[in-house]
Amino acid sequence: MATLVKAEYNVEKVCLHYYDYSDYYADRRWLPDDIYDFFSEEGYDAPVYDSTGRRGLRAMLQVVIDLDGSDRDYISINNVHLPSGRPRYAMKVAKSFFRKCRHRNSYVIMIGDMNIPAFMWEGQTIPYRQYSTREATHQKGYRLDYLFTDLATPSTIESSRYFCQSDHLAVKYIFD
């Protein structure tokens, strides 16, 4: 997961959110000293195993950007990679992340590999509009990658394998 931010914007907060854990101490060695200052305490709360004792717990990387420098307009960009192979559990984690993705006075983007097939979203209460390609985004023929937002509708949604060494298609959303 990554979020690239143009230098002209102020990063207010960077945090890793995990589902249903506490008392985890994040390893700082891989981070530059100055960027670690942006991480908040809720980012240090995940062990290596999930609640079923299986490895591979996934997280949400939240980056909050101050859009105008006045503490009035923020955008909370939330990259997610939900647990695979257990879509019902992934849905529980997604709902937890929906609650954690808002920041004061912020617009919200939650985007990434949800590992939840499209049909499972039907009938769910979701606080943001959902977008995806019309085609499968995973090599097994499922749509698993989505964008949820309270911003205006993306003007373009494109997918391709260009620059992609994954079992998922790269999906690009363009907002005017």
Tens place of pLDDT per residue across the chain (176 aa)? 678 888 888 888 888 777 764 323 344 444 445 544 444 444 333 444 455 554 455 678 888 888 887 767 899 999 998 877 888 888 988 998 898 888 888 899 999 888 898 899 999 999 999 998 888 878 788 888 899 999 988 888 877 766 566 777 777 788 87
CB 173 within 8 A of CB 131: yes
For residue 35, how far is the Cα from the chain centroid?
A: 19
Task: Say how far apart CA 101 and CA 41 lie, in whole Å.
Answer: 15
Which strand (E) or helix (H) includes residue 54?
none
Task: Say how far apart CA 169 and CA 21 lie, in whole Å.
Answer: 31
Task: Say how far apart CA 10 and CA 8 lie, in whole Å.
Answer: 7
Task: Say how far apart CA 7 and CA 124 lie, in whole Å.
Answer: 38
Task: Say how far apart CA 143 and CA 119 lie, in whole Å.
Answer: 9
pTM: 0.77
Beta-carbon contacts of residue 103 (< 8 Å; ≥ 6 apart)? 12, 13, 62, 64, 74, 76
